[in-house]
C-alpha cells in the first residue's frame, strides 16, 4: 500500500527563504524598470521608482542598496536620480558573446518555413549586395532556387530593401549610384520610386520584392535588430508568384514580423517596431 501525502502536509519554505525570494524578484523589478524607462535618460527619482513599482520609498531604498554596491545601479551624487550601472554592460556583453546566432535563428526559420510553406532565407548586407547566410528549403516541388553564400542586388530584393530602408542616406546613395538596371519588367529603376518604397517599408515593417529580381518569384522580408537597434540581418519568405500572391503578402508580412521579432528578442536586440500607416 502506497502512502498518500495530503498537500496540506507539505512543509512550506521557511519565512526567511520566502522573504529572500520576494526581495530578489522586487530587486530585479527595479533593474527592469530602469532598463525599460527610456523617457528619463538622466535617471529616475526615488519617488518615480516607488510609484512606478508600487513600493514604499523605504522598500526601494533597502532593495537598491545591494544593487548599488555591485554597480548594477548608480545614483547621481548631485540630482540623486537612479540609473543603470556599468556592470550591466559587462553582463550584456557576456550574454551576447556566448550566444550562437545560428542556434537561435534555426528553430524560428524552420517554423516559418512550415507556416508559410515556402523557402526561408537568413540574409546579411554587403553593400551594394545581400548575401544568403542560411536557408530552409520549401517542401514544395516547385520552389525558389538559391544557395548559401550567393549574392543578389540590394535594390531589387526584399531583404536588400529592408537593409536600405534602415541604412544611412550615404549608403542608399552609393547603392543607387552603382546603378538600378532592370532585372525584370517590374524592377524599380527610378531612385525616387525606390526612396518612396523605402519610406513605406519603414512604416509598414516589412518589404516586398514584387517579382522585381527574378521572373515569377515574389519575396517578403522583415528585419532583425541587434542590441544597438541596428538591422544586422533580415529574414525572407520566397516562392513562385502563383503561390506567393499579392493577396498573401500581408499574411506573410505578419508571419515574418513575428518571426524576426522573436529572433531579435532572443538575440538581446532592440527593435523600434513598425510605425502606423497614415
Q: DSSP of the chain, one letter per residue?
A: ------GGGSPPPPHHHHHHHHHHHHHHHHHHHHHH-TT-TT-B-HHHHHHHHT--HHHHHHHHHHHHHTTSEEE-TTT--EEE-THHHHHHHHHHHT--HHHHHHHHHHHHHHHH-SEEEEEEEETTEEEEEEEE--SSSS-----TT-EEESTTSHHHHHHHHTS-HHHHHHHHHT----SSTT----HHHHHHHHHHHHHHS-EEEESSSSTTEEEEEEEEE-TTS-EEEEEEEEEETTTS-GGGHHHHHHHHHHHHHHHHHHTT-----PPPP-
Tell me, what's the pLDDT at 89? 81
CATH topology (fold) of 100-266: Beta-Lactamase (3.30.450)
> For 147-174, what is each residue's pLDDT tens digit?
788 899 999 999 999 999 999 999 999 9
Q: For the chain, list residues with pLDDT below 50.
A: 1-10, 274-278
Cα angle value 52/55/58 (rounded, 5°): 125
Let me know if the fold of 16-92 is the same as that of 100-266. Answer: no
**pTM of the predicted protein model:** 0.66
Environment class of 178 (CB within 10 Å of its CB; exposed 0-12, middle 13-18, buried 19+) = middle
Chain Cα centroid distance, residue 226: 7
Query: Which pLDDT does position 11 carry in this prediction?
Result: 52
The correct answer on CATH 1.10.10.10 for the domain covering 16-92 is: yes
Q: Which three cell numbers stand for residue 66?
A: 545591494
Identify the pLDDT of residue 96: 59
- Give me the pLDDT at residue 59, please: 94
Cα(99)–Cα(97) distance, rounded to whole angstroms?
6
Rounded to an integer, what distance in angstroms lies between the CA atom of residue 271 and that of residue 173?
24
User: How is the chain split into domains, by residue range?
Assistant: 16-92, 100-266
Amino acid at each position: 500500500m502506497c502512502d498518500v501525502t495530503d498537500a496540506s502536509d507539505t512543509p512550506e519554505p521557511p519565512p526567511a527563504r520566502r522573504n529572500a525570494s520576494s526581495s530578489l524578484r522586487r530587486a530585479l523589478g527595479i533593474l527592469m524598470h530602469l532598463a525599460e524607462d527610456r523617457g528619463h535618460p538622466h535617471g529616475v527619482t526615488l519617488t518615480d521608482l516607488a510609484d512606478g513599482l508600487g513600493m514604499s520609498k523605504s522598500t526601494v531604498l533597502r532593495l537598491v542598496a545591494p544593487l548599488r554596491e555591485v554597480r548594477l545601479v548608480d545614483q547621481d551624487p548631485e540630482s540623486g536620480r537612479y540609473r543603470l550601472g556599468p556592470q550591466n554592460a559587462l553582463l550584456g556583453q557576456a550574454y551576447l558573446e556566448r550566444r550562437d546566432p545560428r542556434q537561435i535563428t534555426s528553430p524560428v526559420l524552420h517554423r516559418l518555413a512550415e507556416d508559410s510553406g515556402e523557402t526561408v532565407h537568413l540574409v546579411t548586407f554587403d553593400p551594394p549586395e545581400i548575401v544568403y547566410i542560411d536557408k530552409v528549403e520549401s517542401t514544395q516541388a516547385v520552389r525558389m532556387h538559391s544557395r548559401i553564400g550567393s549574392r543578389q542586388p540590394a535594390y531589387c530584393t526584399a531583404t536588400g530593401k529592408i537593409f536600405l530602408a534602415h541604412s544611412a542616406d550615404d549608403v542608399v546613395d552609393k547603392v543607387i549610384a552603382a546603378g538600378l538596371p532592370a532585372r525584370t519588367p517590374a524592377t524599380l529603376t527610378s531612385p525616387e520610386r525606390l526612396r518612396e518604397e523605402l519610406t513605406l517599408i519603414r512604416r509598414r515593417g516589412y518589404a516586398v520584392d514584387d517579382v522585381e529580381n527574378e521572373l515569377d518569384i515574389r519575396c517578403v522580408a522583415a528585419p532583425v535588430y541587434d542590441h544597438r537597434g541596428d538591422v544586422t540581418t533580415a529574414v525572407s519568405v520566397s516562392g513562385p508568384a502563383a503561390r506567393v500572391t499579392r493577396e498573401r503578402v500581408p499574411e506573410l508580412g505578419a508571419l515574418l514580423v513575428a518571426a524576426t521579432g522573436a529572433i531579435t528578442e532572443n538575440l538581446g536586440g532592440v527593435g523600434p517596431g513598425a510605425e502606423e500607416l497614415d
